[in-house]
Amino acid sequence: MPRAERPIQVGVDLVEVARVSRLLEENPGIDRTIFTDQELGYCRSSKRADERLAARFAAKEAILKALGTGMAEGLSLCDVEIVGSAGGAPTVRLLGPARAWADDHGVVEIEVSLAHSGGLAIAQAISFFRPA
């Protein structure tokens, strides 16, 4: 079914915190291709940095799934930023190619929820599209 006929799309992703930690440790510099400076600063200022980074990794994957693109169409994980709202809830900021894609395809809002516990991080995203 084409995106225009589905006004809401959902994405979810689950990752092991240790897997994301290993990815970052074994690949120096990869953090800058996955996370924005703001995300890195926020996460690394916490005692639970690994959990926060893993949750954001899962969120980026879930958001790209909710857009219906995955990593296709020239979008990357770094084009999706998870920032805190005034109340502390995570919010989504699309950058560069992801912002342009969303504008071109009628994305009006993206909601995201993150959680981490027991060595796992999960995120769910919902994309709302302008009616056709």
Rounded distance between C-alpha atoms, residue 89 and residue 114, angstroms: 9
Q: Which domain holds residue 108?
A: 3-129
Which residues pair with residue 12 across a beta bridge?
A: 124
Tally of residues, the chain = 132
What is the pTM for the complete model shown? 0.92
The answer for residues whose C-beta is within 8 angstroms of residue 25's C-beta and 6 or more apart is none
Rounded distance between C-alpha atoms, residue 81 and residue 56, angstroms: 8
Query: pLDDT digit string (tens) for 31-40?
Result: 999 999 999 9
Strands in 57-119 per DSSP E: 80-84, 90-94, 107-117
User: Would the pLDDT of 4 be above 80?
Assistant: no
- CATH number, domain of 35, equals 3.90.470.20
Query: pLDDT digit string (tens) for 46-62?
Result: 999 999 999 999 999 99
Rounded distance between C-alpha atoms, residue 127 and residue 132, angstroms: 15
Measure CA of the first residue to CA of the last residue in the chain; give whole Å: 13
Q: How many domains does the chain have?
A: 1
